[in-house]
Amino acid sequence: MMRSAMVLVVGICVLIFSALSSLASSGRVALVIGNSAYSQVEKIRNPGNDATAIGAALRRMGFEVTVVHDATKVEFDSALSTFSDVAAGADIAVVFYAGHGMELNGSNYLIPTDATLSTDAQATSETVTLDNVLNAVRSVKGLRIVLLDVYRKNPFVLKMKPNGASRSIGRGLAGIEPTPNLLVSYSAEAGATANGVDSDHSPYTEGLLKFLEMPGLEVNFLFRRVSAYVRNKTDGQQTPFEYSSLPEEPVYLSPSSATNLPATKAQMVLYEERVGMPEPTALAGSVTWSIDMRTDAKGHSDPVVRGHMEIPQRNLTAVLTLERNTDPSIAASHLFELSFQIAAGFEGGGINSWTSMSMKTTEGARGDMLIAVAGKVTDTLYMLALNGLPDARAKNIELLGKRRWIDLPIFYQNGTRALLTLEKGEDGERVFNQAIQAWASDDLARTDGGNAQ
């Protein structure tokens, strides 16, 4: 009988190895593990369903995926060992785990289905450490994502006998320090446990399934939406948390067709008044929109929208930047910066002021001004602070999201009035919407008492 059991275990490991080995040539690989049928504690329904659904979603997104259900210690170790070879050199690698886990003396452990854990000394021999999971994706060329949907209160804790030495068993998982190009997402913040619900999927997995496949959703924005979704789903009882050290450039798990194409130039026109002329002169230019992420000292990433303008006939370039205000000394919700690069001999002598900003539906329409205060920083740098009061903020965000054209009135140093009129175009619509949606999700999580990363 023992021989038959050994043959069965070896056979299962060979199947896992064969499945994972077939992924080696892919740039997007994933290992998905769902542990439901524990031998020593009550079975939990969600992890098996969660693993099946997440695996299917990742396949639709172009990942080569291996799904392992009810992994024993041997099967868990085997899957990680083989996936380590498969993931080496991959562009993106994802590991998803749903099941029981725990923190013991500051270390995190994922619990296979055959664990007994009758004493805390068995943690190192009967479980899989989070460090082992992270080591399995260490050789990935690009982004590494580890998603941990650790379930409920750990049922093993009550039966674990201490090994004589003092011990510390925490609720949920302990925090970690991420290395570059790594994002680790917990279904509940460090020291907290995820809620079990009477549904096919956990709240965290439901959030992932809702947003993972959304085209053109940058990864930071994706997890903010998941966090807000889970908090709402659980009435504020559960808040996912991310530990990340991501690259500066945007990362898309499910790119839209627009993100696969080079940035396109939208229309812009520089209008200049002329003394004695009934109509201003109109000089054609272009604006290219982009979105970047800015990370503060605490590791919190926030979107930054940029519009790069070029007016060849004036040899003039400018950059319009929009970001959320994080300076408590400035009473503003968001900040625009307008910076100029002016060639020698510029006809207007330079830029003297930027007075306001209006949003409009078409190039020829009369715009509505944003509720804001403008100011001069240097001769080539100007700032517009959007009013932070709730009604003003809501109005400004609505204008920024719905209007397709922008007016920037400026004065030259020689007293001439001018107007920069910018079109968003498809790229501009996309980046403004992404930024606004990310801010809204983050604000919702913070309002609910969350800790959006």
Confidence of residue 163 (pLDDT cuts 50, 70, 90): low
Q: What is the pLDDT of residues 362-378, one digit of tens each?
A: 999 999 999 999 999 99
Q: What percent of the chain has pLDDT over 70?
A: 82
Model pTM greater than 0.85?
no
DSSP string for 169-221:
EESS-----PPTTEEEEESS-TT--BPP-SSSS-HHHHHHHHHTT-TT-BHHH
Give whole-number Cα distances, 104 to 117, 191, 245, in Å.
Answer: 12, 11, 25
At 408 the pLDDT is 98
Asked if residue 152 has pLDDT above 70, the reply is no
Asked if residue 325 has pLDDT above 80, the reply is yes
At 7 the pLDDT is 44
Using CA atoms, how far apart are residues 375 and 372, in angstroms rounded to an integer?
A: 10
Give the mean pLDDT of 297-313.
82
Asked if residue 71 has pLDDT above 60, the reply is yes
Q: What is the pLDDT of residues 274-293, one digit of tens each?
A: 888 889 999 999 999 988 77
Asked if residue 451 has pLDDT above 70, the reply is no
Query: 128 has which bridge partners?
Result: 110
Give the mean pLDDT of 199-226.
87
254 conformational bin, left if phi > 0, alpha if psi -120 to 50, beta if neither: beta
**Cα dihedral 310/316/421/386 (nearest 10):** 100
Q: What is the pLDDT of residues 102-143, one digit of tens each?
A: 888 788 999 999 998 887 777 888 999 999 999 999 999 999
CA angle (281 as vertex; 278, 282 as ends), nearest 5: 135
Using CA atoms, how far apart are residues 205 and 35, in angstroms rounded to an integer?
A: 14
At 441 the pLDDT is 64
At 391 the pLDDT is 96
At 417 the pLDDT is 95
Q: What is the pLDDT of residues 228-275, one digit of tens each?
A: 889 888 888 888 988 888 887 778 888 764 454 556 799 999 999 988
Longest dimension (CA), the chain: 103
Give the mean pLDDT of 195-212.
82
Least confident of 62-71, 101-110, 324-333, 396-405: 101-110
At 235 the pLDDT is 87
Asked if residue 176 has pLDDT above 60, the reply is yes
Q: What is the mean pLDDT of the chain?
A: 84
Asked if residue 16 has pLDDT above 90, the reply is no
At 237 the pLDDT is 87
Confidence of residue 197 (pLDDT cuts 50, 70, 90): low
Asked if residue 174 has pLDDT above 90, the reply is no
More confident call, 14 vs 30: 30
Cβ–Cβ under 8 Å, residues 243 and 233:
no
263: how many CB neighbours lie within 10 A of its CB? Answer: 14
At 12 the pLDDT is 47
Asked if residue 9 has pLDDT above 50, the reply is no
Least confident of 83-92, 113-122, 442-451: 442-451
Cβ–Cβ under 8 Å, residues 247 and 399:
no
